[in-house]
Structure 1
Amino acid sequence: MPGMKRAPLLTLLLALGTPADARVRLGEPLPAHPWTAAEREIVVIYSHDCGDLGGLWGAVLAAGLPVRAVNAEDVPAPAPAGVNVWRGAEATTFARRLRVSAYPTVLLVRGGRVLNAWEGTFTGNLGIKGPG
């Protein structure tokens, strides 16, 4: 998707000598968050400079799973009507604890653990069939 930008944290980690493959890890539990977890859910972590996310929002909303929006990096950016957005320092900390390397990042979560992750590469296919 055009307009995807590396997270500022990745640049900092590279400068500090941290391996470039510091990415969201499958199977990891989500860090602390303000929502009540569902059995399966989608978490979208994005920033203000991601460009047009209309296609991404359309795809994740069409999946029929609960969608959690995390607006990281302290600059408010909109989400579709009806999607609650978590913003502020805690939202940015959430993204950094997950080791997000690019925005937007889309997570498919099952039982509170990351089942699949797309960091800056989401094509609209979650690889799931129907809710449940």
Structure 2
Amino acid sequence: MRPRRAPLLTLLLTLGVSTAEARVRLGELLPAHPWQAAGREVVVVYSHDCGDLGDLWQAVLSSGLPVRAVNAEGTPSPAPAGLQPWRGEAANAFARKLRVGAYPTVLLVQDGRILNAWEGTFTGALE
């Protein structure tokens, strides 16, 4: 029998260590956004050219935290069922204000402040 990991731990293992240098500043408040903030939440900022994000979405959705999808850069790209991605110029401005350096970017947010950030390709093992 395989030991089961806590959903948030699985998310953190999936994200692992990003090869890109995160330019998003930890501790900063999130820029203006259209959703009601939760105590702790995950924000995924992605674009149409991120490739297959299936494993990442699965880990994020399994975390047990509210998930916000921000589809930046103008070309619509789907989010998993049940998530309504935020798109358009305001979503692009949100990504620019964050200083996103690579897509996808995953933010762990607590009380409106960025607690942790991962940018780029995620290769964390789920086994």
TM-score for both structures, normalised by structure 1: 0.76
Long gaps (5+) in structure 1: 2-20, 126-132
**Distance change >3 Å, CA 84–CA 124, structure 1 → 2:** farther
Identity of aligned residues (%): 75
Q: Deviations over 1:51-104 (max 9, x none)?
A: 000011001000000000000000000000001110001001000000000000
Count of matched residue pairs? 106
1:1-132 matched pairs, under 5 angstroms: 23-123=23-123
SS at 1:87 equivalent: coil
The separation in 2 between residues aligned to 1:36 and 1:51, in whole angstroms, is 29
Change (3 A) 1:90 1:71: same
- Residues 110 and 122 of structure 1, relative CA distance in 2, 3 Å threshold: farther
Cα distance in 2 for partners of 1:93, 1:25 equals: 16
| Inter-partner Cα distance in structure 1 for 2:62 and 2:83 | 13
Structure with the bigger RCO (C-alpha within 8 Å, sep 6+) is 2
Partner Cα distance (1:80, 1:41) in 2:
16
Q: Distance in 2 between matches of 1:52 and 1:22?
A: 21
Structure 2 unpaired stretches of 5+? 1-13, 15-20
Distance 2:22 2:106 in 1: 16
TM-score (norm 2): 0.79
* Runs of 4+ more than 3 Å apart: 121-125
The amino acid of 1:117's aligned partner reads A
The structure where strand makes up a greater share of residues is: 1
